[in-house]
Amino acid sequence: MKAAILTEPKKIEIQDVKRPAIKSGEVLVKIKACGICTLEQRLYTGDIKLFYPLIPGHEASGEIVEISEEGVLSDFKPGMRVALDLVNRCGECYYCRTGKSNQCINRFKKGQQVLGGFGEYIAVKSKQIFTIPDTLTYEEAAFSEPVACCVHSLKKIDLKLAEDLLIIGAGPMGQMHLQVALAMGARVFVSDPDADRRKQAVKSGAFMALNPEKDNIKEIIEENTEGRGADACVITSPSHKALQTGIDSVSKTGRINIYTSYLDAPVLPIDANTIHRSEKLITGSEGRTEYDFLTAVRLLSFGIINVKPLISMKVPITDIDYGFEKAMSRDTYRVILINNGN
Ligand SMILES: [Zn+2]
Ligand SMILES: [Zn+2]
């Protein structure tokens, strides 16, 4: 089969590799679509290094082609359309057994499948596939993973009906957070310096889309919340100023989720006494559990959220370099790689 293989930073090439054989309990899936996420971009630039050669891609969807005769209990059939959850949760560790499988300690152990969405086929455990309806395109289904991470993120800060949420950064993750938060019944303020991204946020239903280069975010949110500030905030932009704005713009008892990851690991701009007195809660968000993934697939399948405006471009996997170039530019949300003949 063909696969896009990262052999060293900035060097990704289409190679012929052996099609994976399924083991007991596994399903072979022909990949139809896979998003180029920030993780892939950082793997590509070399800012994150795992190992080489590597097949990137963790936001994938496809069609079942083969099912192991042993160890698969559900009634999966060849031809079924699925979203792929490409994390190997062990189901045995403390975190898995306490419903926090996003923190599974064995998920990156040797022998575990890591990524693989930029290949033509992938063999996965049957618990990693989630069927999707015909009404959902493969490109849309490829959003299951990032949407699942937003579901996890908003559960993490316990977002409630009719609360005020501030989302900083209206790139792809900010836009997905917005849609999930609206589905959860929140009123959402969005902040982003990019006018097009603000426009898209308003179109999706943001209450206000603010420009951090011109607007005083904290003041405007206070004016709209009887002086309190937002009930919760999600930071999806890695700028240090965004971190400060997020912490300053929530109310007493406000919950802040540092969703973004940082290459330079800044120190929090808040002192311990302020946390003590204000009871602000600061947390982060890592990945998603299988429950979050299922929720995301249902949100997409039921049409509760609409990711079509976030599909900026579909690029054949053979044009992988072009795909990366476009994915890394600010004028795209998600670039989706598609397999030829799709
Ligand atoms: Zn992702
Ligand atoms: Zn585990």
What is the per-residue pLDDT across 227-241, written as a single tens digit (0 to 9) for each?
999 999 999 999 999
* Ligand that comes closest to the CA of residue 99: 2
pTM tops 0.75: yes
Q: How confident is the model at residue 133 (pLDDT cuts 50, 70, 90)?
A: very high
* Ligand that comes closest to the CA of residue 107: 2
* Ligand that comes closest to the CA of residue 57: 1
Positive or negative: CA dihedral 108, 41, 85, 103: positive
* Ligand that comes closest to the CA of residue 142: 1
Q: How many Cβ atoms sit within 10 Å of the Cβ of residue 177?
A: 29
For ligand 1, the distance from its centroid to the CA atom of residue 106, given in whole angstroms, is 19
Q: Give the number of C-alpha atoms closer than 13 A to the C-alpha of residue 181, restricted to the C-beta side.
A: 33
- Residue pair 283/256 in contact by the 8 Å Cβ criterion: yes
- Give the C-alpha separation, 108 to 137, whole Å: 30
Across the range 235-253, mean pLDDT stands at: 97
341 pLDDT higher than 80: no
For ligand 2, the distance from its centroid to the CA atom of residue 336, given in whole angstroms, is 30
340 pLDDT higher than 70: no
| pLDDT at res. 342 | 45
Which residues sit with Cβ closer than 5 angstroms to ligand 2, an ion?
A: 90, 93, 96, 104, 106
The tens digit of pLDDT for each residue in 152-204 reads 999 999 999 999 999 999 999 999 999 999 999 999 999 999 999 999 999 99
97 pLDDT higher than 70: yes
For ligand 2, the distance from its centroid to the CA atom of residue 287, given in whole angstroms, is 13
The tens digit of pLDDT for each residue in 170-184 reads 999 999 999 999 999
For ligand 1, the distance from its centroid to the CA atom of residue 200, given in whole angstroms, is 20
Domains, the chain, in order of start with CATH, read 2-143+307-338 (3.90.180.10), 150-284 (3.40.50.720)
* Ligand that comes closest to the CA of residue 40: 1
53 pLDDT higher than 50: yes
| pLDDT at res. 232 | 98
For ligand 1, the distance from its centroid to the CA atom of residue 252, given in whole angstroms, is 32
For ligand 2, the distance from its centroid to the CA atom of residue 166, given in whole angstroms, is 32
Mean pLDDT in the chain? 95
Closest CA to 324 of 42, 52, 31, 117: 42
For ligand 1, the distance from its centroid to the CA atom of residue 38, given in whole angstroms, is 7
For ligand 2, the distance from its centroid to the CA atom of residue 258, given in whole angstroms, is 23
* Ligand that comes closest to the CA of residue 98: 2
Across the range 22-46, mean pLDDT stands at: 95
